[in-house]
Structure formats: C-alpha cells, structure tokens
Structure 1
C-alpha cells in the first residue's frame, strides 16, 4: 500500500509539469511532497543501498489522477474553488460524481452565502425546485421516457457553470440536479431570487435611514452587487433597487412576516441603555420594517443608574437618536403589559420589539449611523 501511494504521488508530479497549475495546486503539491518525503526517508532507512528510479517504472505511463488514493484525491478536490470543481467535473464521469457531491459545495455555499441565507431562503429554494420539477414533468422530453437531467444535460450545465464563473457568460441553460451545487450556481448566476433583508433601502434614502426591510434579492456576478425587489404596498408598485452591496444585507433574524405583528418576548427584560429593533410602518397598508433604537429613561428619572427604577415601570421609553432633539420621531413610549401595535396615521405605527444582544448586530447599526442628525 505504501509503494502504491508513492508511485501515485510521483505520477501526479510528473503529470503536473506538463501543464500550468492553478493557484490552489501549490498547497496540494506541498501536501503530497510532505507524504512523499516521509515515504522516501522510510524506504532509504530500510534499504540504504537501494536507489529506486521511479521514472523507470512502466506503471507511471498508465497512471491518472483517479489512481490516487481516495484520501489524497478528496483533499485535492476540497482545495478547489467553485470554478475548479466545475472544470474538473467535465473531465470524466467518475470525477463528475465526486465534484458535484454536496459535501464539497456546502463549504463554498456557507463561506460566500451563509450570512445572507436564512431559513426563509432555504424554504423558498425548495419551492423553486418544486415548481421547476412540475415544469420538467410536463415537458415533451420527459414524456418520451428520457430523463430530463441526463448525461447530455449535465455536461451542458457544467460547461455553462464553468463559463459563468470564469468568463461571465450568462446564457440560459439547464441546471444540474437537486443538489448544493445547484443551489450555489442558481444564486451565483442570479436566476434564483432569495428572501433577505436590506439595510437603508432605496440607496439610503433619508426616509429609511437606520432601518431594515424585507426584499427579494438577485445577485449580479459582474458587479458583485444585488438587485432588490421590495413588496408592493398601498398604491405603490414593486420597488426595485440596483447596486445593493453585501454589507447592506442580512438574513431575517426572526420568522416573522413583514405584515404581521411580532410577539415580543423580551419586554420585561428591557432597561435603559439596551439596544433594540422595533417594527414600524407608515400606515397599515405598508409592510413593517425594523428600526434601530435605544431604551431611554422616563422623564421622572434623572438618568443616574444607581437610583434608576425605569426597568420596573410598565412604560418603556424608546429613543431614536439619529433624529434631532425635538423631532416627533425622536422618542416614543410603549406599554410592557399590554403591548400591541400603537400609533396613528400621522406618526406611523409601532409594532413588536426584539432586544439586541449580539455585538455584531449592534456594530452594524453603528456603521450605518448617518453623518448628521435627521429632521
């Protein structure tokens, strides 16, 4: 077994000299060199007078990358970027089976998309697959008995994937079977619109500063930005915004519809200085957005934490310090015991509250803070 691994490693190095290697190959070569040096040292220790000549072995002329041990081959594939996996999958059917496996693509999916994909996005993906399957089931090709995702379709798809990730070709072609690879490619090419939330919608319009709204997103690989579609409300049609950057996106932190009141579970824990997000909408035809604020002190309190009893009161003061002192948007009050949607058509309607405990969430709102106070 040791000799087999040694010959396999040597063949890999000899073959690698005949073509240029991508950047990921250097780490792989280092890994194999380490194993090779250990094996040579072990062999020379047992047979100090023996000087093997690997190039004289007739087996080397017949060796391929598939002759590598599974552990070494899996390590090589694990180091490949998505474009490398797509290219490797076009070599032969054996490599295709390995390169489209979920465990290789899950890492790439999490690394690039993990922060913006929540449970809602995964549910939408399943619905997307279901609708695609119904379309395939009714297609003439499927009725003839040929599988709609056969060898030719997969090869065509893999060529498309490679061209998209390398050259930016965005022509519409068939997707591969239901897999993590399919999910990744559908996101990467912008064909799948996924639900998420956008900070400071409509390019940071002053009316949406320090807010976060639900939207459907489609990725543009050429600009590395997103196109956002906001749900219609009232007489307004679907709002569209282009050029949304990664920094302005997040996965929805709660499983709550933008049209439903969130039932708050942390009201009794709120105390002055706590960071919060609260639902707010302009009128009852609008969807809720999440707005950043801080719990303040009651007017009867002097703000001295050593004597403060605000947390014992049934009334909670919320402050939105991005607005100037005296602005009608600067402060509002809610009732802990009987909390429901509160407000009017003039000042808008306040809904559920979520307390922020994650430092990253608080830091994100701090980075979005406007350069000057709002009126």
Structure 2
C-alpha cells in the first residue's frame, strides 16, 4: 500500500519541483501576485484543500482524480487569465490613443498644476496643454476679479520689451531662450520660473495665456489694480480705494503692494495684502484724470456712491465711499422729500463723527467739476453704486470705531 502511494505521488512531487525551479514570468515579478482579485480567487481554490488531503492523509489516486468539475472550470479560467496577461499588457491603451474630444475633456478638468505637469510628459501633450483654450478658463477663475484692461495692457508692454531685448541679444550673439517653466518645487509653490538652459524645460511662447498665468502665479509680473484701505488700514485712508502695483506671493497667497509717490511723499509699500482688499479699477483711466460724472441727475438720498478725492493737485485720485444725504431744509420724510429735485447734492461720509469737516460735503448737480481747496482737498467725479457686491464690500470694510 505504501509502495502504491509513493508511485502515485512521484509524478505530483516532480510537478511541484518543476514549478519551483521554473522562473516567474515578467508580469509576475511586477505584480508580485498582490492584487486583490488574485488572492480572492486563490484563497477559494479547492486544490488547496485537495493537496493538503493528499500529503497529510495519504489518499490514493482515486481521490486525486475526483476533482470537481466546478474547480476545473475555475482553474481553467484563472489559468487563461494569467496566460493572457502579457497580451493585455502589451495592448494597453495610451492616453494619446483616446479620441481628441475625450482627451480634451480630461485636460479641461485638470487644475493648473496638473495641466502644467501634463505638459512636461511629451511634445504631443505639451502642444495641447499650453493651448490658450485651457488657460483662459484658469485665468478667469483665479485672476479675473482683479485683472483688468490696464493689467492686460501692461502685460503687452512687458512682452514687447522682452521681445525687443531678446532680438537685441540675438544680434550680438547672445541669444536667450524663451521662458523656461514647468518645474514643480513644492506643493505651496508649485511653479518656479527658470532662466537656465536645462534640457528638461520646455519653451513657452511669451504671448500665450499660460505664460501670463505663470508670470502672475510666480509673482514675477507686477500689475496695476486698486487696494481698499491702503497701508494696512491707515486711519487716513479708511473706506478709500487707491491705485497700486501688485505682485502675488504664492507662499502666503497674498500680495505685495507698491503705491506711487505723492508729491514729496516717497513710494509706500505694503505686504500681505489679502485678495478681498483688491479690485479692478472701475474705469480704464489714469488716477490723475477727473472722472466725468454721468449719474448726478439720478442721485437720490440713500444712494451709495464713490467719489474721487485727492489731497492736492499733485496727488492722484482715490475713490472714497459715501451715501447721498438730505438737504438741511429737508426733515428726511420720504413723502415730502424733494432733495432729488435740487441742484445741490449732499454727500455724507458717516464713518466720521458728526461735526467733523470730513462728514459732509455738497456738489453741484449740473455743473460739477473738481471742487475743493488746499485745506480740505479736492472732490472729483462721482459714480453711483448699483452692484450689491460692491456695496457689501464697502460695508465689510467699515471701521470698528467712528473716525474723528
């Protein structure tokens, strides 16, 4: 009986030995047989209990050959899956094999950092990822609220100046490459400009939207915008909005601000300016130009307004928040108020104490130009606020204490 058992087991022992000596295929080395579907299938193989019974209980060939048909089918299925794995791997689909519409939908959903990384994969993806079509959306989403016509014009001048310098250097044999980008240095500062000739970088057209986005994102480009309550809420600038040059700081997600010199006053600087204190200038004009008011005939008591004001003729205008008030002869009763018919418009700045010389002023409705003097400053153009978001921003910036 023992001899019969050994004779029947020898083929099986040699079979196991041949499996141990046979090198694993490449896919097995890579996968290491750790995928969940592998262990799920193997753990339920009846052959495990079958081998245990043969080796431990010494059963004869009769039991070995009585493998259930269900197990055979499952084993055949698994074997077929393993044998065909290499073929599936070789025929794996590349992202470039996707239809153009599908690939475009994927790229449209990538955030700027991921789109920038994707552009560094290969030349084919780079040509797609630097397309203005994708970056215009990112530009609008992140920078649209504070980038206006003046900032765009400044960027065009920047490109023209850089192109002229590059052309001049090329004539002298000192060619400089275009901006080198797409290097990710840390999560909080995911793009850093490069000016070396590293082969790992790729050239980017200076006039592309992506180049502009990255110039803003890295803080290399200073652009014009307006800042509420300038100089960290200096008491002399409460509820005002002044022009400045801004540069983004990606480490703190805030801005550096440079205010132009006023008269004898040197340039003022401010750091850590948050997003909520910035806005696009309401008009694409110089801060030294008087705004021509076109809303004076529409003003009624209670309307929210902004008015230009400057200390003297050398200073640029800033925009100051106020409301339209009632004439002294009016008791404020809505049923009898006729202030809107008067040629005089009362403007109130209620963040100043009653009796303060800054609390009230009047302007002429029909002949208003710049009004004022060297002592109280000069009042310029007026704009009526109809946007609730603008009004809410001013009220959010209201000082905690009434000013003298």
Fold match (TM-score > 0.5): yes
Please state if 1:345 is matched with 2:374: yes
Correspondence for 1:257: 286
Correspondence for 2:66: none
Q: 1:303 aligns with which of 321, 332, 336?
A: 332
Distance 2:157 2:290 in 1: 25
State the Cα RMSD in Å. 2.3
Match runs of 1:125-274 below 5 Å: 125-140=155-170, 148-149=177-178, 156-159=180-183, 162-163=184-185, 167=189, 170=192, 172-173=194-195, 176-177=204-205, 178-274=207-303
Distance 2:289 2:363 in 1: 18
Distance 2:189 2:300 in 1: 54
Per-residue deviation at 1:280? 0.4
Note closer, same or farther for the CA distance 1:179–1:339 as it changes in structure 2 (3 Å cut): same
Note closer, same or farther for the CA distance 1:273–1:204 as it changes in structure 2 (3 Å cut): same
Note closer, same or farther for the CA distance 1:147–1:208 as it changes in structure 2 (3 Å cut): closer
Match runs of 1:60-71 below 5 Å: 60-61=90-91, 63-71=93-101
Contact 2:189/2:250 (CA < 8 Å) preserved in 1? no
Q: Whose radius of gyration is greater, 1 or 2?
A: 2
Note closer, same or farther for the CA distance 1:146–1:233 as it changes in structure 2 (3 Å cut): closer
Correspondence for 2:24: none
Structure 1, residues 102-161: CA drift from partner, whole Å, max 9, x if none?
111111111111100111111111111111111111113x66597844xxx6xx4223xx
Contact 1:83/1:166 (CA < 8 Å) preserved in 2? no
Correspondence for 2:114: 84
Distance 1:191 1:247 in 2: 21
Distance 1:102 1:231 in 2: 33
Structure 1, residues 294-323: CA drift from partner, whole Å, max 9, x if none?
000001111011111101111000000000
Match runs of 1:18-167 below 5 Å: 60-61=90-91, 63-140=93-170, 148-149=177-178, 156-159=180-183, 162-163=184-185, 167=189
Structure 1, residues 212-271: CA drift from partner, whole Å, max 9, x if none?
000010000001110111111111121111111000000011122111111000011111
Structure 2 residue matching 1:287: 3-state secondary structure: coil
Q: Aligned residue pairs: how many?
A: 318
User: What TM-score do you get using the length of structure 2 for normalisation?
Assistant: 0.74
User: What TM-score do you get using the length of structure 1 for normalisation?
Assistant: 0.80
Q: Whose relative contact order is higher, 1 or 2, with alpha carbons under 8 Å and at least 6 apart?
A: 1
Distance 2:265 2:101 in 1: 57
Contact 2:169/2:175 (CA < 8 Å) preserved in 1? no
- Using the TM superposition, name which of 56-65 and 341-350 deviates more: 56-65
Structure 2 residue matching 1:276: 3-state secondary structure: strand
Per-residue deviation at 1:57? 5.2
Contact 1:164/1:189 (CA < 8 Å) preserved in 2? no
Distance 1:168 1:78 in 2: 19
Per-residue deviation at 1:166? 5.7
Correspondence for 2:401: 372
Distance 2:271 2:176 in 1: 38
- Structure 2 unaligned spans of 5+: 1-29, 32-79, 197-202
Distance 1:320 1:169 in 2: 44
Distance 1:247 1:287 in 2: 23
Contact 2:193/2:218 (CA < 8 Å) preserved in 1? no
- Using the TM superposition, name which of 255-264 and 186-195 deviates more: 255-264
Note closer, same or farther for the CA distance 1:258–1:144 as it changes in structure 2 (3 Å cut): same
Note closer, same or farther for the CA distance 1:266–1:368 as it changes in structure 2 (3 Å cut): same
Correspondence for 1:282: 311
